[in-house]
Structure 1
Amino acid sequence: MSIKKIYLDYASTTPIAEEVKTDIKSVLDNDLFGNPSSLDHEYGSLVNELIESSRTDVAKLINADGDEIIWTSGATEANNLALMGFAEFKMKDRPLRIASSFIEHKSVIEPLMELKQKGHSVEFIAPNHDGYIDPDVISTTLDNGVDLLSCMHINNEVGSTNDIALIGSLCRDKGTVFHVDAAQSNGKLSLDVRENNIDLMSLSAHKVYGPKGVGALFVNHETVGRLKPLIFGGGQERGMRPGTLATHQIVGMASAFRLAKSSMQKDHIHLSKCRELFLESIKDIEGLKINGDPKNAYPGIISLCFPDLNADSLIFAMDDLAVSKGSACATDSDEPSHVLKSMGLSQAEINGTIRISFGRKTLHQDIERASSSVRAASEHLRLVSGETL
């Protein structure tokens, strides 16, 4: 199937890189179908070697040890395992005190709400108007005694970036376990779990040109060690995530992470140029504002706000572009974006926000067409509504 639209929704998912496809195909074509837990014969042992070498490759990207990587079905499961698994394993004679923020992905917020229902104390920190968490506010929160802090690195809706190194240092000083949702940043920004004092970190493959259906959770063996599993019925993944592993997907994730490690700097330069060109070409569009702080944002994500227009109408009018209103995991809900709401945007501003996100395959001519399309769509909608600014 051939789709003619220009794809500008890389924050939602990325196309599988050709190198990754080749590595996945190699697994499927070479009869590497054995169960990696069946070590009594070569079918199982050969696949187990692939799984373990892939584990090492993923670990290298974040300066972890291979045995600290737990395979999951994706970052959503990794977030759930990190939060629910930590709370269930660590709770002994008292409920835990947990802190997070209102800008988190639903796969963090909803497990925390479930833990609150179970009696744990959960506090959500409000971000500043640019969409990231003020470290001073975190420091004050930690002073009150916090067992676990969870926050994302790059926000998936506006691209705001939290200072993970500083937050990790604050957590380590206070003895607080630090969980990072790195689904949007792994392979895009440099992450070092040792230098950044990270105890738990959720990783995704499909956000970085790997396959869907696979992810991982980093579990620091020195500071956390064990988690209670979410599912039961096997001893795989050190008993923390039972189930037969999907070899071809895991090999694909490792391939994507190796590629990301080698191309991270080049990718960042390319995305920064895309952002610069796009913002320059749309800067004079009437009524347009950019959500977030342009100086503290990942270059691949831009949140555009037209307070006098409707996002659904804008997207429909830009029929040559594949863009979104925000998080792909919230498209089935009519509720306004909890991220934009927590940043203090009005209902009109939330309703008029769309997200543009660039990737490796974004061309400069795509930027030109996209800016022209945004301009034409906004002018057309104002014309048909009889409104001008």
Structure 2
Amino acid sequence: MNPEKIYLDNNATTRMDDRVLEAMIPFFTTYYENAGSSHLSGMTVQEYVEEAAWNIAELTGGQPEEYIFTSGATEAINLAISGLEHSGRKHIVTLSTEHKAVLDTCRNLEDRGYNLTVLKVETTGLIDHEILRAAITDETLLVCVMMVNNETGIIQDVQTISLMAHEKGALFLCDATQAVGKIPVDVSSMGIDLMPVSAHKFYGPKGSGALYVSRAAKIKLQPQILGGGQQKNRRSGTLNVPGIIGLGKACEIAALEMDTDAARIRDLRDTLEKELLTVKGSFINGVPEHRLHTTANICFPGINAEQMIMGLQHISVSNGSACSSVTSQPSHVLTAMGLSDEEALNSIRFSLGKFNTITEILQAAAKVRELIAQFSL
């Protein structure tokens, strides 16, 4: 009999909550109409879509009409960055530890004549605010800084960063893909102008996300997908109604249970770290007091992470972003934080979720220690 899997890769994706699936099913069968149709059945489906938008807004602090439904965070990021009208400004500032969706989209604009500044972070994973302030000029169109890093869980002070951007008249894009549904996010109080959301990072369906676009900032976006002119011509295409309903339900559940889940997951994460940091020479990547409760990124010097991942078999962990895990290159996030290539290749990300148990955590820690002992012989 195969051992039951232990899933510790929740930053890559999460298991869908059964209540989310239950909410979605009727929209595959009973309420299958196109939300853009003008007949009564289509209008009924549209009302459910609008309710989902309300749920997203309630969780993240915006207004329902400020959200564009997308296929996920990557599309939302592309729309936000590539679709932004520059109004004479053609300078973008971002960090070296951003997700590839941000970095690659920014570099694409650089190839098209934009000026791009990519700032290094400190060894903690945090950006030096004075270095960031100096980089933002009167020519800066956009500042892109993620709220929570997907590999290390490091949390940036986005409210302070947004103030720096706005002081120079720049817009602030905050990739909150790893934050929404896990920690409090309020686009208004945090001063966020553009923010991608992805349902599958917090127990919703894959292929469903949204882009928050501040109405107060009077942002003009050029659509990246053309066609039927849906969503006020900002993103064409028939709405993925089941996915949108799932996103909305995931937001509704998170609003009610996020704090309780966070406390329990943090205890599990701390237990895991306590067990694993007994390994000689091991250390946490990133400053411990500024990390998301789901994430433990640990370096085990001399232990090849890929070999470890294969050896763990039914225990799912990772050594970087799921979007770039097909390569054996060292993590760009960890090397940007000052780790050597070897240290980055010796690091493993354990990311926990609300379905994990203390039994799983202790079993996983024991297996990791066992393999390290074998590899060290």
2:71/2:210 contact within 8 Å kept: yes
Corresponding residue number in structure 2 for 1:310: 304
Which stretch shows the higher mean deviation, 276-285 or 54-63?
Answer: 276-285
Q: Is the 8 A contact 1:303 1:355 kept in 2?
A: yes
Paired residues of 2:309 and 2:317 also in contact (CA < 8 A) = yes
Indicate the SS of the match to 1:166: helix
Distance 2:301 2:35 in 1: 54
Query: Which has the higher mean CA deviation after the structures are superposed, 74-83 or 302-311?
Result: 302-311
Query: 1:320 Cα shift?
Result: 3.7
Following superposition, the deviation at residue 319 of structure 1 comes to 2.4
**2:33 counterpart letter in structure 1:** G
- State how far apart, in whole Å, the 2-side matches of 1:325 and 1:142 are: 33
The 3 A distance-change label for structure 1 pair 3 and 197 is farther
Please report how far the alpha carbon of residue 165 of structure 1 lies from its aligned counterpart in structure 2 after TM superposition.
Answer: 1.4
CA contact (8 A) 2:10 2:353 kept: yes
Task: Give the letter aligned to residue 86 of structure 2.
Answer: K
- CA distance in 1 between partners of 2:183 and 2:163 (Å): 18
> For structure 1, which segment, 224-233 or 345-354, has the greater mean C-alpha deviation from structure 2 after superposition?
224-233
Consecutive aligned runs of 4 or more in structure 1 exceeding 4 Å deviation: none
Q: Which has the higher mean CA deviation after the structures are superposed, 162-171 or 246-255?
A: 162-171
Cα deviation for residue 11 of structure 1 reads 0.5
Q: Say whether the 8 Å CA contact 1:204–1:216 is kept in structure 2.
A: yes
Q: C-alpha deviations, 1:194-244, integer Å up to 9, x for none?
A: 111110000010000000001000000110332001121121111110000
Partner of 1:90: 86
Corresponding residue number in structure 2 for 1:379? 373
Question: What's the counterpart of residue 26 of structure 1?
Answer: 26
Q: Which residue number in structure 2 is paired with residue 11 of structure 1? A: 11
Distance 2:299 2:71 in 1: 34
Distance 1:367 1:184 in 2: 21
Q: SS where residue 16 of structure 1 aligns?
A: coil
TM-score (structure 1 length as normaliser): 0.94
In structure 2, the CA distance between the partners of 1:85 and 1:3, relative to structure 1 (3 Å rule), is: farther
Which runs of 5 or more structure 2 residues have no equivalent in the other structure?
A: none
Pick one of 355, 370, 376 that aligns with 2:349.
355
Alpha-carbon separation, structure 2, partners of 1:159 and 1:377: 25
- Deviation of 1:144 after TM superposition, in Å, equals 6.1
1:147 aligns to what SS in structure 2? strand
Give the secondary structure class of the aligned counterpart of 1:175: coil
Q: Are the aligned partners of 1:226 and 1:240 in contact in 2 as well (CA < 8 Å)?
A: no
Distance 1:114 1:224 in 2: 24
Q: Which amino acid aligns with 1:111?
A: T
Asked whether the 8 Å contact 1:95–1:121 carries over to 2, the reply is no
User: Which residue in the other structure is 1:110 paired with?
Assistant: 104
Q: Compute the displacement of 1:143 (Å).
A: 4.6
What is the one-letter code of the residue matched to 1:90? H
Taking the aligned partners of 2:3 and 2:370, their CA distance within structure 1 comes to 21
**Contact 2:275 2:365 (C-alpha < 8 Å) held by counterparts:** yes
Whether contact under 8 Å (1:235, 1:242) holds in the other structure is: yes
* Runs of 5+ consecutive residues of structure 1 not aligned to the other structure: 384-389
2-structure distance, mates of 1:224, 1:337: 37
Aligned partner of 1:182: which letter?
Answer: A
Q: Which residue of 1 aligns with 2:284?
A: 290
Matched, 1:68 2:66: yes
Verify the 8 A CA contact 1:199 1:224 in the aligned structure 2: no
Aligned-pair Cα RMSD in Å: 1.4
Structure 1 residues 51-86: Cα deviation after superposition (integer angstroms, max 9, x where no partner): 111111111111111110000000000000000011
Partner of 1:142: 136
Mapped pair 1:121 → 2:84 = no
Question: In the alignment, residue 22 of structure 2 is paired with which amino acid?
Answer: T
SS at match of 2:232: helix
8 A contact 1:231–1:242 mirrored in 2: yes
The answer for the alignment partner of 2:323 in structure 1 is 329
User: Following the alignment from structure 1 to structure 2, what is the Cα–Cα distance between the partners of residues 360 and 59?
Assistant: 23
Q: Aligned partner of 2:24: which letter?
A: I
CA shift digits 1:174-198 (9 cap, x unpaired)? 2210001011111111111111111
Q: Secondary structure at the match of 1:237?
A: coil
| CA shift digits 1:91-134 (9 cap, x unpaired) | 4xx45111001111111011101000000011001111111222
Q: Distance in 2 between matches of 1:226 and 1:35?
A: 27
TM-score, with normalisation over the residues of structure 2?
0.97
